[in-house]
Chains A and B, each alone.
Chain A
Amino acid sequence: MGMIVLGLRNLLRNKVRLVLVAILIGVPFFLLLAMNAIGDAVQRQTAVLAENVNTVLQLRARGSMGHVNMVGQDRILPQDVPEKVRGIEHVERVEPYLLAMAPITPPNFVMHVGLAPTAVKRLESHGEAGNPRIIAGRDLTPEDAGQDVAIIGQGYAQWAGIKPEDMGTATLTVDPTRTHPVIFAMKRPTRELRIVGMYASGYVFGDLQLFMPIETFRSIYGTDQGTSWLFVKVDSVENVPLVAQRVRETVGYVADILVPESAAVFTATTSRTVKQLSGAGGLLAIALMVIVVFFVLLMTVRERAREIGTLKAIGASDGGVTVQFLTEAVALSLLGGALGLLLFQAVGAMVTGRLFALSIGPFLPSHYKPLFESLAVSNQVSASVLLLVLVVAVVAAVVGSAYGVWQAVRLSPLEAMKHE
């Protein structure tokens, strides 16, 4: 207890030096906090980016469009594929689609889609670009499963003479026997579907689709087994390549796998690199602190050799001497940490952005620069930042002072006797 107080009091012996050392430790602390803030900001930014990156793989039967009535393109995926894919790690959701084409007067044909009522309604050949939005009636619900209901694109509705106000009462007849140069006839009875909702997508072709429950589709077209397409949602953009590989291993030769290109590009660069760079910057800052503490302690022990000898001669234990110098080192680096925090609060937001541009910017691939130029660096001091400062201060103090403390412990009480 006494040695702790003694260590703290020793700090105040040379105030000029105290201030100097606090600055020498405070600046690397500022650097550490800035790097930490950059890492956080980049992580937040990339999280936003990642949300907008497509993480959905598409599986189709190898070499086939997978439309059940399209000439030469009617091979579909085996029945067991969805189950197999569902079991792969990092797969969040699988959504089987069944597709059939239906001829109409120009523009030639429409698409009939069977899917789980709650599945994302993706528009053929527009993928994610044109997510449909219900403009009349309602979307499909789980209760619709197996029912003869559908939602219709506004272009298809217009062709069929169905008006938005007719939702819930209008019907559409699906006739699998009708043909077209690329559509072959299926000898199946017609079916009347009740139209419960109308959607718009903003694309002419996107508006020419009909979404129905997958069981309904199966019974209309007689497709008891398999799926046209399988959409595989991966939990995060980093795992897309891994999942693609697992899918390839699991389902083998039967499927073509379409990996979203943006995901591949995204993982190659991005946050991991930046995090590593800012982490390296942080480590450098910690190394600087350790070096400062190291030399300050060494100098202090050399200066106070006689005093340390005296303390030992009057009964201080090695443990006591250790505690005294360790206290001094920890207090010193905590003081530096506090200074660094103040500095960061004062000029962090302003300086950190520039620091980022100078230190990390050059390492980024050019097409990511615009994304990070608008980086919003926060100078908020959260509990986790405080903890970081605390832990780093203690670690830097202990590591940096170890040698000096060892020197002090090793000093003989005879040092007290020397007089020069």
Chain B
Amino acid sequence: MNRATPLIELRSVSKSYRKGGETIDAIADIDLELPEKGMVAIVGPSGSGKSTLLHLIGAMDRPTRGEVVVAGRVVNGLSQGELTRFRRRTVGFVFQTFNLIPNLSALENVALPMEFNGAAKSERTKRAKALLERFQLGHRLKHRANELSGGEMQRVAIARAIANEPRLVLADEPTGNLDSKTGALIYELLKEISRERTVLVVTHAEPLAAMADRVLHLQDGRIGA
């Protein structure tokens, strides 16, 4: 990889919502470059546009204006098929509510994105098992979501997010539903996986944000100092 090329590039990106008669700029004309690898925290008051920014970078939403470039591709111009491939290979998501598929075991949850990506069964089972063991979940392979604690569920979710070895992981308040001690553990995990990829994490917890390599302060849809 060319070190000079950033992984993420936002060029004059805005996202507006119409609410009643007025227009709200959730993201207001943001220019941003984020490098390959490392942990970036997005902080800011409620409604400042943190989630919106994450959605735009993850190609879950399209900007009203501007261009979002991830891994060299303008994601707001991708076709449906290209979007699906982008979600399989380039980006992994970690959710505040964990979002494990309830009728699948931990192992199957982690293997699922690999299945979507066309990996052979033996290959994905092997890799899913290795990932869960790396996250101290070797004894929980066969457990379903409702048989796991919150922290365990989120660790499974992180394993799932990096199953296809994406260059980017996006996490929106991944510790919002966890106590602070468990949350700290999750952040350590995110920090650890950010050695091999870019991890973009939205958080309200300022002390955890301190672990990040870079912190983006959002205020009214703009990035402050």
Contacts and interface: CB of A to CB of B under 8 A. Distances in A.
Given A312-B87, A414-B61, A317 B101 contact: no
A318 B80 contact: yes
Interface string B94-106: 0111010111100
Contacts of B113: 314-315
B160 interface: yes
A385 interface: no
Interface stretch (A6-14, A17-25, A215-223): A6-14
Interface stretch (A77-85, A193-201, A303-311): A303-311
Contact of A9 (B87, B96, B103, B116): B103
A10 B95 contact: no
A6 B105 CA distance: 12
A307 B99 CA distance: 7
A315 B124 CA distance: 15
A314 B116 contact: yes
B80 A315 contact: no
Given A315-B88, A320-B116, 20 more contacts: A9-B104, A10-B103, A310-B99, A310-B101, A312-B84, A312-B87, A313-B60, A314-B112, A314-B113, A315-B84, A315-B113, A315-B116, A315-B164, A316-B84, A416-B93, A416-B95, A416-B99, A417-B55, A417-B95, A417-B172
A413 interface: yes
Contacts of A412: 60
A419 interface: yes
Interface in A283-317: 306-307, 310-317
A317 B84 CA distance: 6
B115 interface: yes
Contacts of A9: 103-104
A412 B116 CA distance: 18
B102 A307 contact: yes
Nearest to B109: A314
A261 to B, nearest CB: 69
A106 interface: no
A169 B174 CA distance: 114
Interface of A: 2, 6, 9-10, 12-13, 306-307, 310-318, 320, 412-414, 416-417, 419
Among A306, A310, A311, A412, the one with the most B-chain Cβ atoms within 10 Å of its Cβ is: A310
Nearest to A317: B84
Contacts of A419: 96-97, 176
Nearest to B88: A315
3 tightest A-B CB contacts, nearest first: A315-B88, A315-B116, A310-B99
A312 B116 CA distance: 10
Interface in B172-220: 172, 176
B60 A13 contact: no
A72 B99 CA distance: 101
Contacts of B176: 419
Interface residues of B, number: 30
B93 A317 contact: no
20 contacts: A6-B101, A6-B104, A9-B103, A9-B104, A307-B99, A307-B101, A310-B99, A313-B58, A313-B60, A313-B87, A314-B113, A314-B160, A315-B164, A316-B116, A412-B60, A413-B60, A414-B55, A416-B95, A417-B60, A417-B95
Contacts of B92: 314
Contacts of A6: 101, 103-104
Contact of A2 (B115, B164, B172): B115
B213 to A, nearest CB: 24
Interface in B49-72: 51, 55, 58, 60-61
B125 interface: no
B117 interface: yes
A146 B138 CA distance: 102
Contacts of A311: 101, 112
A13 B93 contact: no
Contact of A317 (B102, B116, B164): B116
Contacts of A312: 84, 87
Contacts of B102: 13, 307
A313 B93 contact: yes
A9 B104 CA distance: 9
A419 B55 CA distance: 15
Contacts of A320: 116
A312 B83 CA distance: 10
Contact of B103 (A12, A306, A416): A12
Contact of A306 (B51, B93, B99): B99
Contacts of B58: 313
B87 A314 contact: yes
A370 B61 CA distance: 71
Contacts of A306: 97, 99
A315 B113 CA distance: 6
B44 to A, nearest CB: 17
Interface in B103-129: 103-104, 112-113, 115-117
Contacts of B93: 313-314, 416
Contact of B112 (A2, A318, A413): A2
A13 B55 CA distance: 31
B220 to A, nearest CB: 21
Nearest to A320: B116
Nearest to A13: B103
Nearest to B97: A419
A414 B115 CA distance: 22
Nearest to A414: B60
A414 B83 CA distance: 13
Contacts of B87: 312-315, 413
